[in-house]
Amino acid sequence: MARRSAYVVSAGFTKVAEHWESSILDLSVEAARKALQGVPKLAPQQVFVGNMFSSAGASQEHMGALVASALGLEGVPAFKVESACSSGASAFNLAYSLVNSGAIDSALVVGVEKMRDLEPEAVSQALAMAESAEYTQFVGATFAALNGLLARHYMERMDVSRDELSALPVLDHANAVAAGHAQFRKAITPEIVARSGMVADPLRLFDCAPVGDGAAAVVVANDSGASSAKRAKMAKVLGGKVSTARFSVYERDDMLDFTATRTAFKEALKQSGLSPQKVDFVELHDAFSVVGALSLEAMGYSKKGMGSKDAKAGKYGLKSELPVNTFGGLKARGHPVGATGVYQIAEAYLQLTDQAGGNQVEGAEYGVTQNVGGVDTTSVVHVFGRAG
């Protein structure tokens, strides 16, 4: 089969914030319009909406047709794609696969989540639906609780200190200062992380991505679909893979081995033909500090037990060997769950088209995005390069 090429030809997003004045549809339309305005001659042939809990958060399902109709795209196929916190990247992966295969020439991908309309306990309940109703939710374990169990196991087994675990949240906040769309644009110190309120011991508030509303959108097209787009404003999709692991983290032989990320990263890189060393930046799924660290280990950028330690040593800063979370990652840009994967892809697009402003990774040629649902239950990795 002749391989076609697929590109991200445009991106748009809302600020991640407490959008009291905007509905889930308002946010979706705002992001989608911004993305579509970048390619005015392109009419997307399909719409994919990445979203986790529109039913719990906004009493709304049927998001595909709802968004397509609001945009005046009646007639095109439109679906919601759900894989918990990796819904956004899963939606993109389906769009990319169809465009890359030539089944369609272009698609609009919208990731959206409305979280803040819910009380905090209800947000916990909605997020916990990513985990087993019968054996996780039933006993009163939230998603943060599972990550708290994981964090203690990581710290005790790998001798990781509180300050080392804090390194990724500190890095995220530093990178978000110049990011206009980030939820928290304030630098923090390890002391602030260590003094923040306890959520699920040992995880504190600043180990955890915040609750927020937001939407991000990208347009993906192949050579036929992208004919009207400017090459300098395109990023090429070099590979993409979704992988799933044994469902609950406590059912696995080694909880610290993120097999879904390991497999997705390996396969996506293989498709791209790149070695891991060629990658210039990674947009990492650090919904919790420990998850970011274990993800870096699963991708092989840090050795086992070294993810947080390497971050503390400065390996992953914006000006360092391998910048991660160039706009603040999940902790500081924010984590409107179903939208996050699309934010990451939009950010990679900005980097590879030199539109990243104060967050630009100079000379970036290749970037990786990693979006996770559950505790590395679903992992979605994409590899991007310049189109020119």
Partner 1 sequence: MAIQYWRIRDRYYRLVGSKCAKCKAEFFPPVYRCRKCGSDDIKDAEMPKTGKILTYTVLHEPMPGFEAQAPFPLALVKLENGATVLTQIVDSPEESVVTGAKVRATLRRVRVDGDSGQIAYGYKFVVES
Q: In the bound complex, what is the minimum distance in angstroms from residue 198's beta carbon to partner 1? A: 5
Segment near partner 1 (CB under 8 A); pick from 52-60, 149-157, 166-174, 188-196: 149-157
3-class state of residue 163 by DSSP: helix
Residue with smaller CB distance to partner 1, 21 or 253: 253
Length of the chain: 388
Q: Do the Cβ atoms of 73 and 42 come closer than 8 Å? A: no
Interface with partner 1 (CB under 8 A), residue from 23, 60, 69, 248 = 248
Residue with tokens 């809302």: 14
Q: Is 24 helix (H, G, I), strand (E, B) or coil?
A: helix
- In the residue annotation, 62 being an active-site residue is answered as no
Of 150, 168, 220, 332, the one binding partner 1 by CB under 8 A = 150
Check binding of 135 to partner 1 (CB under 8 A): yes
SS (H, E, C) 115-148: CCCCCHHHHHHHHHCCCCHHHHHCCCCCHHHHHH
376: tokens are: 């590395």
DSSP-based helix, strand, coil % in the chain, nearest 5: 40, 20, 40
Tell me how far apart the alpha carbons of residues 29 and 25 are, in angstroms, rounded to a whole number: 6
Nearest approach, Cβ of 91 to partner 1 (angstroms)?
A: 27
Rounded Cα distance, 126 and 139, in Å: 15
Stretch that binds partner 1, among 39-47, 193-201, 291-299, 343-351 (CB under 8 A): 193-201
- E strand spans, the chain: 6-13, 47-50, 78-81, 106-113, 198-200, 203-204, 214-222, 235-244, 281-283, 366-373, 378-386
Task: Give the residue with the Cβ less far from partner 1, 2 or 133.
Answer: 133
Residue of the chain from 9, 84, 107, 149 that contacts partner 1 (CB under 8 A): 149
Name which of 59 and 277 has its Cβ closer to partner 1: 59
* 139 binding partner 1? (CB under 8 A): yes
Tell me whether residue 28 or residue 289 sits nearer to partner 1 (CB atom).
289
Q: Which of 85, 181, 285, 382 is catalytic?
A: 85
**Shortest gap between Cβ of 330 and partner 1 (angstroms)?**
18
Q: Is 345 in the site for partner 1 (CB under 8 A)?
A: no
Q: Give the CA distances from residue 258 to residues 150, 220, 241, 295, 354, in Å, rounded to whole numbers and listed in that order.
A: 12, 29, 15, 7, 32
Helical packing angle, 289-298 and 143-158, nearest 10°: 60
For residue 85, indicate whether it is catalytic.
yes
Catalytic residue among 19, 181, 285, 335: 335
Interacting residues with partner 1 between 42 and 71 (CB under 8 A)? none
Q: Which of residues 194-223 bind partner 1 (CB under 8 A)?
A: 197-203
Query: Interface with partner 1 includes 125 (CB under 8 A)?
Result: yes
Alpha-carbon span 16 to 182, nearest angstrom: 6
Of 132 and 244, which has the nearer Cβ to partner 1? 132
Binding mask 68-107 for partner 1 (x = CB under 8 A): ----------------------------------------
- Classify 342 as helix, strand or coil: helix
Distance CA 278, CA 185 (A): 30
Tokens 């914030």 found at: 17
* Residue 287 Cβ vs partner 1, minimum distance, rounded to whole Å: 15
Q: Where does this chain touch partner 1 (CB under 8 A) — which range of 108-116, 209-217, 243-251, 270-278?
A: 243-251
Query: Is residue 251 a contact residue for partner 1 (CB under 8 A)?
Result: yes
Task: Choose, by CB under 8 A, the member of 66, 94, 104, 144 that binds partner 1.
Answer: 144
C-beta of 140 vs 363, nearer to partner 1: 140
Give the residue with the Cβ less far from partner 1, 65 or 118.
Answer: 118
Q: Are 299 and 372 in contact (CB under 8 A)?
A: no
Find the shortest distance in angstroms from Cβ 266 to partner 1: 22
Residue listed under structure tokens 């819904």? 87
Binding of residue 250 to partner 1 (CB under 8 A): yes
Which residues are the active-site residues?
85, 335
